């Protein structure tokens, strides 16, 4: 298995632009998590899905952030419009049915100028 | 609200030394606790997971312990090697819920 796949690995954009981050979870996993990591706040859970359904989005910082999971093998995290304070590393993780461990992707490093 | 603290924030040791990383949490009603390793610019790699009913888990040179009543976990690394240099994070999952809270991590440097 290729593990959790994220794209792009690096994204540099200008303030006000729309940013879309993509994630492919491990095949067969039914939970998908989106995290943001910054030096100041560490890893924070933004939203998670179970069987493609958003369960808890209380960590999404603002309405500028949205996430979708149209099918079991794909999820997106969108920021519109982006701001410099959104600069961070965004991780996607997945977990299998009845499993306890989360498996993380390599992350997307976002820089908003 | 669960809070997870890791002390020290950074640690530098000579190769071969045994060391202990600490993780403390405020709410003892946990489901499990997981230790991760993160290399610079990379994602997180799971090292050990301890269920709430367990006291410790071992993998190779790594041993993680859990004391729920005191809200503490330790990660013991035996005979440290330069390849162990990384940031180590602990993550706590509460009972009956999926949301995991992470500590800020301990940055470990093992000097050859």
φ, ψ of residue B105 to 5 degrees: the values are 105, 160
What is the spatial distance between Cα B70 and Cα B6, in angstroms, rounded to a whole number? 15
Q: Cβ atoms within 10 A of the Cβ of A8, count?
A: 13
Look at residue B70 and tell me whether its pLDDT is greater than 70. yes
Instruction: Give percent above pLDDT 90 in chain A.
Output: 87
Cβ under 8 Å to B: A residues 34-63? 42-45, 48, 50, 55-56, 59
- How does DSSP assign B39-57, residue by residue? -TTS-EEEEEEEETT-SEE
Residues of chain A contacting residue B98, judged by C-beta atoms under 8 Å apart: 31, 48, 50, 55-56
Look at residue A1 and tell me whether its pLDDT is greater than 80. no
**Contact between B103 and B23 (Cβ < 8 Å):** yes
CB pair distance less than 8 Å for A106 and B44: no
CB pair distance less than 8 Å for B34 and A101: yes
| Sign of the alpha-carbon dihedral angle for A75, B31, A42, A16 | positive
Cβ under 8 Å to B: A residues 76-95? 91, 93
Mean of the per-residue pLDDT values of chain B: 93
Look at residue B28 and tell me whether its pLDDT is greater than 90. no
H helices then E strands: how many in chain A? 0, 11
Residues of chain A contacting residue B100, judged by C-beta atoms under 8 Å apart: 33, 45, 102
Chain B residue with minimum CA distance to A57: B99
Return the ∠ at Cα B88 (arms to A3 and A33), rounded to 5°: 40
Look at residue B96 and tell me whether its pLDDT is greater than 80. no
Which pair of tokens denotes residue A92? 């996607």
Look at residue B41 and tell me whether its pLDDT is greater than 90. no
Look at residue A99 and tell me whether its pLDDT is greater than 90. no
Look at residue B54 and tell me whether its pLDDT is greater than 90. yes
Look at residue B77 and tell me whether its pLDDT is greater than 80. yes
> Which tens digits make up the pLDDT trace of A61-71?
889 999 999 99
Determine which of A102, A105, A106, A111 to mutate to test the interface with B (most B C-beta atoms within 10 Å). A102
What is the spatial distance between Cα B35 and Cα A96, in angstroms, rounded to a whole number? 18
Which pair of tokens denotes residue A91? 């991780």
Q: What is the average per-residue pLDDT within B36-50?
A: 92
φ, ψ of residue A4 to 5 degrees: the values are -75, 130
Query: Would you state the pLDDT for residue A49?
Result: 96
């Amino acid at each position: 298995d290729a593990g959790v796949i994220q794209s792009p690995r690096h994204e540099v954009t200008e303030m006000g632009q729309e940013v879309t981050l993509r994630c492919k979870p491990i095949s067969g996993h039914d939970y998908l998590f989106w995290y943001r990591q910054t030096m100041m706040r560490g890893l924070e859970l933004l939203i998670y899905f179970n069987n493609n359904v958003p369960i808890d989005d209380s960590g999404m910082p603002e309405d500028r952030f949205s996430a979708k999971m149209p099918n079991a093998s794909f999820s997106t995290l969108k920021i519109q419009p982006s701001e410099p304070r959104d600069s961070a590393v965004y991780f996607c993780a997945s977990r299998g049915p009845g499993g306890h461990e989360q498996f993380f992707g390599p992350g997307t490093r976002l820089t908003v100028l | 609200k669960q809070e997870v603290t890791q002390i020290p924030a950074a640690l530098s040791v000579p190769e071969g030394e045994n060391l202990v990383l600490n993780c403390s949490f405020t709410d003892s009603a946990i489901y499990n606790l997981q230790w991760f390793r993160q290399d610079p610019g990379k994602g997180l790699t799971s090292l050990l997971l301890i269920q709430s009913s367990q006291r410790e888990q071992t993998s190779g040179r790594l041993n993680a312990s859990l004391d729920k009543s005191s809200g503490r976990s330790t990660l013991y690394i035996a005979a440290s090697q330069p390849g162990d240099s990384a940031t180590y994070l602990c993550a706590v999952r509460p009972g009956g819920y999926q949301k995991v809270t992470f500590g800020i991590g301990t940055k470990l440097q093992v000097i050859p």
